[in-house]
Amino acid sequence: MDVRNRDIGRRVGYWRSRRGLTRQQFADLVDRSISWVDKVESGQRGLVRLPMLEAVANALQIDVAALTDDDAARRAAESPDAVEVCAIRDALCSYKVIFDGAGEAPDPVRLRRQVDYACAAWLASHLTTMGRVLPGLIAESQRAVATLDGFNRVEAARHLVMAYRLASSTLLKLDTIELAWLAADRAMLTARSVGDTVCLARASRCVARALACLGQPRDSLDVLIAMATRMEPELASQDRQLLSMYGMLLLPAEIAAAQKGDVDTALTMHRRAEQIARQLGPGYCDPVSAFGVTNVALHRLAALVRMDEGGRAVTYARTIEPQSLARLPRERKATYLLDMAEAHRQCRQYPEAAAAVVRADQVAPEEVRRRPATHALIRRLLDVASGEPALLLRRLADRASVAT
């Protein structure tokens, strides 16, 4: 079997699956038979003519290079692409449930599994998975809220708010801020419709992060403090989910305060979050948000970086136990390493900064190779790094298609 045919066939199968196309649907798009599709994907038949390659690429909504070029294929596979971002946008902007009806109620158990899968993908920094699953998850959760009642409707609202939260967070990482704000606003509207504290807390955090990225840290801080204050009477129940959600309001409040240069408020938020984390126990790590003692420490480091206190951040990092870091999800570990890279850069410790970025790429490649903010950090370091660190960064920049 020809190696090139095999590689192209494997990529055709990957993109057909990623686009959610059956063999029959794909065959219809390219005016071929299912047998032809099977032979192409198995590598038994090659796409030797350019017009056929172009027809296949058009059907899959990708560049021809994503099928024929190794580097282009790898880059295309590492992140949600424009088609998937548009699909998320279409799901956010859809009013189908209102005007066309919701149809049959989804299976609550199946919906919960879908949400759990999406949450796990987020914590693992699989942005490509987020791009594929979010449009369907949003639509299915909207249908559940419209058709279920009682406790099941509240659960469905929690799922929908989570779907919106994951969409907003994914879009923020991709620097699609206005669309991320829309997802956050949808989360808040859903939360208000059921009045559930968990929904409102999660939606408030989502809105606050979008506001901060829009350059409105004061408004972000106000939302978080208002929601935290609203939750405080319920904390006496010692419900661990509520305590964790409360703590996860304090952490972005610390970051928002740091962004606006409010050192005292940032420290107050940190100390309160630390108190909640210790109350939950030294080994506690929320399965959805990763709230716990170590995540609180990581947010303190991030706040110091945002206040341009790189030296203090590097010193503070020495107090974080490596074993605790190792137990965190990939998304948290990669974010920590990128914050460390910026802290070292602020201290002009360029070899250490470069090493942190390279390590982040090893932990969670999609966090490094597809995020505009990380690309900007790599470019800043390339301007000042030299020797072996510069060589490693240059190789990473090439793999990540960083424009320099």
And the tokens for 372?
């505009």
pLDDT given at position 1: 54
pLDDT given at position 311: 97
User: 165 CB contacts (<8 Å, ≥6 apart)?
Assistant: 183, 184, 187, 202, 203, 205, 206
pLDDT given at position 333: 97
pLDDT given at position 49: 84
| Regions of the chain short of the pLDDT cut 50 | none
Please, are residues 324 and 332 in contact by the beta-carbon 8 Å criterion?
A: no
pLDDT given at position 47: 86
pLDDT given at position 105: 83
Q: What is the largest CA-CA distance in the chain?
A: 70
Q: Check the CA dihedral 290-295-299-301 and report its sign.
A: negative
User: 97 CB contacts (<8 Å, ≥6 apart)?
Assistant: 142, 143, 146
pLDDT given at position 204: 97
pTM, two decimals, is: 0.86
